[in-house]
Every structure is written in C-alpha cells, then in structure tokens.
Structure 1
Amino acid sequence: MTSHTLLIGLFLCFGSLFCIPVIILSAYLERQHIRRQRLQAIVKSVLGKDFTATEKNNVKLYQLIQKIGHLILKSGLIDEKTLSAFTEGLKENSYIGTHYLEIFIGCKLILIPICGFIAWFFSYDFLKTPLLHVIAPVVGAIIGLLLPDIVIKQWRKAYLKNVEKGIPDALDMLVICADAGLALEAAINRVSIEMKNVNPNTAREFYITSQEMNIISDRREVFRMMAERTQLSDVRRITNALSQTIQVGSSITQALRTLSTEIRQNRMIEYEARAAKLPVLLTIPMILFFLPVILLIIGGPAFIQANLNFVHQ
C-alpha cells in the first residue's frame, strides 16, 4: 500500500511538471486565437470581406501539439542525427514540411506520459507482481514513443495500396490525353485533376509529379523521384518507360498502352493466384467447424443406439 501511494505521488509530481507547460501553452494559444478573431473582425469591417469562411479552422489540440513540437525543436534537446532520421521517415511517408515534424515530435512527447499512465493504471488489475507495476509504465512509455511511427507506417501502407489500385485507370487516362495531342506535362496535370474523384491518392502522386516538372527541367530526374517516393513496381515501370521514350524519342502513347495492358494482366494473375489459395486456406476452418458436425450427424445415432442396446442388456 505504501509503495502504491508513493507511485501515485511520483506520478502526480511528474504529471504536474508536464501539465503546467501545457496549460501555459493553451492559455497562450487562446490569446492568439482571440487576437486573430479581432483582426479578422477589423478586416471584415474595413474591407467588407469575410475570410473566416475560406480559412480552415484548426483544432486547438492540433495547434497545441504543433506548438509543443516547435518548442522541443527550438530547445535543441533532439540531436541533428535523430531529427534527420525523423525527417527522412516522414518524407518517405509523403509528409513533407516542418509542421509535420513538429506534430510528430509533439505526439511522441504527449503519448509518452499518457501511455505510461494507462499501463500503470491497468497493471494493478491484471498484474500481481510489484516489480511488474514498475515495469508496466516504462513499457507503456516505450509504446507511446513508438506509436506515431507505427501509425504513420500503417497509413503509408494503406496510401500506397490505394495508389497502386488507381495506376491502371491513370495510365488509360494518360493514353487518352496523349492521343488527344497534349504534351506530357499537360497530360500528367490533367490526369491529376480528373483522378481526384476516382482515386485521390493516385491523383496526389501525379499532382506532385506535375509540380516537380514545372520546377525541374530534367524529366528523367522527375520520374526517378516519383519512383523513389512511391517504391511501387508499377510506378517504377511507368517511369522507366517514360524516361526511355524521352531519351530515345519513341512514341509515348504506344509505350503507355502496352504498359497498361501488362499491368492489368499482372493484376489478373495476382487475383487468380489469390483465388487458387482459397481451398488451402479453407481447409483448417472446415476441419475445425464442419468436420465435427458431420461426425456428430453420422456417428451420433449409431452411438446412441449402441448405448441403448447396452442398457437393455
């Protein structure tokens, strides 16, 4: 009981050290929000325009997390090697910008005490050893530290999966644009616009590529960056084909049409392979659920009859 009270006191001390800066930041953000509203009211009264309708209302929690991450970055508590690793990880997951890094670090800092407290709170219900009551908050804090990385990786997998689904449709649309006489830059930009309602993730990749083509003159470098950004085999094949057509001067339409046919055939082969695995995957459920029922139906009457004959004898 004494150790339990001591742990509660230690947790309250550390919690207060964490909550006091958060409260100060919340008050500071609230004052900034009030000041922003006053400025918007002044601009509206002078110019007669309401900018609040077009401005996105940021959630206070979002602002708080970003502010905490910004303070940690400014304090220099994280070394350059770790920051570069965080930046590269976010860049691989298509989160480019300093504000994403601030949110990422802020989420890590907030989840460490929260997950530690949750693990410590439930450890007294599920764990009986006193040593595990001390280890549980540490494990929870580690989980809270790694949780943003896990979430971002899962988002990245789902994002790339959606991008891969929309590649054949984007290729067909790119072929139509090329047949219509549009240049490659205009065709990619048009595909990014038309694919927004069909597959927003694929449209986003083509939009990023079109913006990079407006900045970088070397088209092969842009295609290489697109392949490295997605790390998808279909996108790599498309970029290699486009780079070769630019280098050799061959027909882009024919290359894209051939690639579209090959990608759809490969998708069909993958679907057939998955369908061929179904009988093997269904074997264990059939053994566990269907076979005992069949044995009961077939052998049950015979077993009951044998017991009745044994009782009569």
Structure 2
Amino acid sequence: MSLFPLILLTLLLLVPAQLALLTAIDRKTRAARLARSTGRGAARQTAPRPSVGRRAGQAVLRLAAGTSERLQILRGGDAETTAAQLRAAGFRNRDAVLIHAFLKLVLPLGCAALTLGWFYLRDRGAPAPLVLVIWTSAIALAGSKAPDVVLGRLVKRRLARVRKDFPDMLELLVIASEAGLGPGPAMQRVAHELRRTSPPLALELEQLVVELGVLPRRAEAWQNFEQRLPLPEIAVFANTLLQAERYGTPFAGALRSLMKDERAARLLRVEEQAAKVPALMTVPLILFIMPALFIVLVGPAVLSIIDNILAGGFGK
C-alpha cells in the first residue's frame, strides 16, 4: 500500500481548514460593514444565534489563542510578513494571523501522527526505524509548508486578477472624473460598477474611500492601499494620485496620463509575450513536429530499401 493516498487524504482534510477558518467573516459581512461606513447601508441589527459551525470555529480560535500565548508563536518579523500576505490574499479577519500560525503548528503534528499510525497499523508491521523517521519527517515538513503554499497561491491568483482588471478601473475612473465627479465619488462609483466583474478590486477601492475619509493623513490611506495590493501598477497609481493631491494637479489630468502609461505598459507586455513564442515553440517542434516530419519524408525510402533487401535475400 502506498503512502500517497495517506498524504493526499491528510492535505485534503487539514489544509482546507485554513480557508474555512480564515473566511469566518465572509464577503457579505465585509461589504455590509463598508456600506454602513459610507452611509449606504442599514444599521446593524441584532445578530442571530450563532450556528454550530460558528461556535466550533470560535472554540478553535480560543484554542489557537491559548496555544499562541503559551508557546509565543506570533513574535518576530514572520508574523508581520504573514499578516501582509494574508491582507494581500483578501483575509481581513483580525484572527487570520493567529489561525495561520496555529495551523502551521498543528498540521505537522497531525501529519506525523497519521504517518506513524499508518505504519504501525498496516498488515506488514512497522518498517525499519530509519525509514520510519525519514517518512515521518518528510510528511511533517510537507504539512508545515502546506499553509504557506496555499496562501502563496491565493495571493498570486488574487493579484493576477487585480492586475488584469486594473486597466478597466483606470478607464472608468477617467470617464467618471471627466463627467465631473471628484476623487472620492469617482472611486466610489467605479467600485460600485466593479463589484460583479472584479470583487477584489472593488472591495479595495471601497476601503480606500473609507480610509480617505476617516484617517487624519490621506497619505496613510494610500500607503495602506499600496500595501494591501503589492503590485507595481498599484504603487504607481497610489503615488501619482498622492502627488496630484499634494501639488494640486487636476485629478482627471493625472488619471489621463496614468492611463496612457498603463496602455503603453500593457502593449509592452503583449509584445514581450509574443516575442517569447518562438522560444516556447522550440520544444514542441523538436518533440512532436520533427519526428512526424522525418517519418513522412524518410519513411517511404526506408521501407523501399527494406523491401529490396528482403526481396534480394530471398531471391538467392
């Protein structure tokens, strides 16, 4: 019996717990909170009785908090890096870092326990101690790296979606600003229009509008927006509009110049991808096209030679 079904079952059962716990505050709750902050939503109503799943999640959170306090696993620069990655992945729950650290602590222990149990409960008995140590250590290491791998993939996928929808956001902002809207109303309107096509970007814009109206320094709101979306395009966008506010540059003019630069950068990326096509086609050409071409060109001659040799040999 192979260990791969055990590893797959362990990751399927334990790794999705990270996503289930990190999304305790779902998108509807965050959207309602932002709507109340901007005055477009109804007042908060009396919360219903929590379900069994929510109560179980709260119990896990309490266990994670107690474990982190006892073992002191949330100190140092790793916690700040993890918090930045969680914000980039869209997790705004204040307990997200705690849950992530708790999973990184529990998953290796769970994977090691399952590995030892599988080795001792199988029919052939326990293997050699060295083999047992190697397999247990490898699977425990995989379990410890699984939350980081999942988080990294979520961050990459979310940032790729934001990068894809960023030019459309600029176009809409230019249209809204030229229609006479100011920076705040224009971004609020564009965020409303982007809710269906690009929910991550719409959510970040709405939070930016709220922070611009709440924080004492507007530069801090732009810095937070840039940190939540660590992309070069977002950094240029934030710095451009911050400089426009600081020096009195018209909002529409700054957006128009930024949109032209973004169009040029987008065209440059397309040309770069097109230039990579010949190099990427080399491997398929060698592996699939050239053998078939050789068979078509050389195959008849080879068959004819073989027939002549066989015919001459049998004729004697």
**TM-score class, shorter:** 0.7 to 0.9
How far 1:162 sits from its partner (Å)?
1.0
How far 1:166 sits from its partner (Å)?
1.4
Contact 1:116-1:138 within 8 A present in 2 as well: yes
Match of 1:132 in 2: 131
Match of 1:89 in 2: 82
- Taking only the aligned residue pairs, the percentage that are identical comes to 26
Runs of 4+ in 1 over 6 A off after TM superposition: 122-125
How far 1:193 sits from its partner (Å)?
2.0
Structure 2 unmatched runs, 5+:
1-44
In structure 1, how many angstroms separate the alpha carbons of the residues matched to 2:268 and 2:119?
49
Cα 1:274–1:191 change in 2 (3 A) is same
Match of 1:259 in 2: 258
Match of 1:280 in 2: 279
In structure 2, how many angstroms separate the alpha carbons of the residues matched to 1:132 and 1:60?
41
1:100 to 92, 96, 100: 96
Match of 1:296 in 2: 295
Match of 2:111 in 1: 115
User: Following superposition of structure 1 onto structure 2, how do residues 206-221 of structure 1 map, counting pairs within 5 Å?
Assistant: 206-221=205-220
Cα 1:50–1:78 change in 2 (3 A) is closer
How far 1:68 sits from its partner (Å)?
3.0
Match of 1:141 in 2: 140
Contact 2:68-2:74 within 8 A present in 1 as well: no
In structure 1, how many angstroms separate the alpha carbons of the residues matched to 2:223 and 2:279?
40
User: Following superposition of structure 1 onto structure 2, how do residues 242-257 of structure 1 map, counting pairs within 5 Å?
Assistant: 242-257=241-256
Match of 2:183 in 1: 184
Cα 1:78–1:235 change in 2 (3 A) is same
Q: What residue identity is the alignment partner of 1:228? A: Q
Cα 1:79–1:113 change in 2 (3 A) is closer
Q: TM-score, normalised by structure 2?
A: 0.73
Match of 2:22 in 1: none
How far 1:116 sits from its partner (Å)?
2.3
Match of 1:77 in 2: 71
Contact 1:104-1:148 within 8 A present in 2 as well: yes
In structure 2, how many angstroms separate the alpha carbons of the residues matched to 1:140 and 1:273?
40
Comparing 142-151 with 84-93, which one deviates more in the overlay?
A: 84-93
How far 1:98 sits from its partner (Å)?
3.1
Cα deviation, 1:34-62, whole Å, max 9, x if unaligned, reads xxxxxxxxxxxxxxx99659x78846764
